[in-house]
Amino acid sequence: MKFLKQKDGFLGYDASTNIKDRVVIVPFGMEKTVSYGKGTKNAPKEIIKASHQVELYDEELNKEPYKKIGIRTLKYFSIKNNIIDALNQLSEINKNIISKKLFPLVLGGEHSLTRGAIKPFINKYKVIYILHFDAHADLRSVYNKEKFSHATAIRRCLDYKNVRVISFGIRNLCKEEMVFLSKNKDRIKIFWAKDKKYWNLSKIKNIFKNKNVYITFDVDGFDSSLMPATGTPEPGGMFWDDVMPIIKKICSVSNIIGADINELSPIKGFNSYNFLTAKLAYKMLSYIFEFKKKY
């Protein structure tokens, strides 16, 4: 694996800091099937650039989490033109990372990348729970004649029989998706955005307790007033303080095996959205490794 210089990578902290690496950031700006707003291909570079402005000290955890984590960032590379080839490319990258007992965090890119990202974990674990934040269910079978679309991302993950999905913040889906959901309630559970004031952290904890969990976070899960820099923004979504307790609680009771953050479409001159995504990535890693006993 070839890495960026530490000062150019995620967080951009001092390379002289002696930290054992535990995380690999994978910049994967795949943009193949976006159907409304565009620009996800530019997201990884903008997230990494914004991460240099993220404060390394976490007042909640009372520490600088990166000193425990150790984060390296892969050098930017060309993504295969064909979407199947691109997904296989990402799968091989993550396979290589986990073979070295490192934790992959993929920065997308459109949401269709998740199928490729989780593939190396399929054979490693008997059952995988996907913790899914999104405005959309992504349960369509096909969208715009494309089987591997950002709108079919979670459906394609469920093609793997040992995958279960728990979604948060969903507030937009089609009739086909609702029919599929009703037929697969043993494998899919949705915490609807409209019901967020009733979400029960104790019940959520019990769902994930002692499970192997992969996190996929589509930034349009956030309310569109907080995150308009995404291809398909939706009102009625989640805010920072809705999301953080869920991630923290699940990290405290489960084994987080990998993650991706996707669907940021940077808007020139509006750096707050890039910064929000970079902060999300750091906070997510901070929680994961605060509770992780081993990897």
| Mean of pLDDT values over 76-94 | 97
Would you state the torsion angle of the CA atoms of residues 156, 159, 163, 168, taken in this order, to the nearest 10 degrees?
30
- For residue 182, what pLDDT is reported? 97
**Average model confidence (pLDDT) for the chain?**
95
Residue pair 165/130 in contact (Cβ under 8 Å)? The answer is yes
Q: Is the per-residue pLDDT at 126 higher than 50? A: yes
Task: Say how far apart CA 191 and CA 198 lie, in whole Å.
Answer: 9
Residues 6 or more apart whose CB falls under 8 angstroms from that of 195 comprise none
C-beta atoms surrounding 1 within 10 Å: 12
Q: Which token pair is 104?
A: 């992959």
Strands 212-218 and 255-262: parallel
- Identify whether 221 is preceded by a cis peptide bond (ω within 30 of 0): no
Domain range list for the chain: 6-291
Task: Say how far apart CA 226 and CA 38 lie, in whole Å.
Answer: 18
Class (C level, CATH) for 6-291? alpha beta
Strands 255-262 and 163-170: unpaired
> Which uninterrupted H or E stretch holds 259?
strand 255-262
pLDDT range class, residue 295, cuts 50, 70, 90? very low
Q: Is the per-residue pLDDT at 78 higher than 70? A: yes
Task: Say how far apart CA 74 and CA 280 lie, in whole Å.
Answer: 19
Residues 6 or more apart whose CB falls under 8 angstroms from that of 191 comprise 166, 167, 168, 169, 170, 199, 204
| Mean of pLDDT values over 262-275 | 97
The helix/strand/coil state of 25 is strand
Closest CA to 215 of 152, 130, 118: 130
- Amino acid identity for residue 44 in this structure: P
Higher-scoring residue by pLDDT: 251, 14: 251
Q: What is the pLDDT of residues 195-238, one digit of tens each?
A: 999 999 999 999 999 999 999 999 999 999 999 999 999 999 99
pLDDT range class, residue 18, cuts 50, 70, 90? confident
Sheet holding 71-73, edge to edge: 71-73, 23-28, 103-108, 255-262, 212-218, 128-133, 163-170, 188-192
Within its chain, how far is the Cα of 70 from the centroid?
19
229: DSSP letter: -
pLDDT range class, residue 14, cuts 50, 70, 90? confident
pLDDT range class, residue 33, cuts 50, 70, 90? confident
The helix, strand and coil proportions of the chain, stated in percent and rounded to the nearest 5, come to 40, 20, 40
Determine the length of the chain: 295
Helix axes 113-124 and 83-99, enclosed angle (nearest 10): 40
| Mean of pLDDT values over 58-63 | 97
- For residue 32, what pLDDT is reported? 84
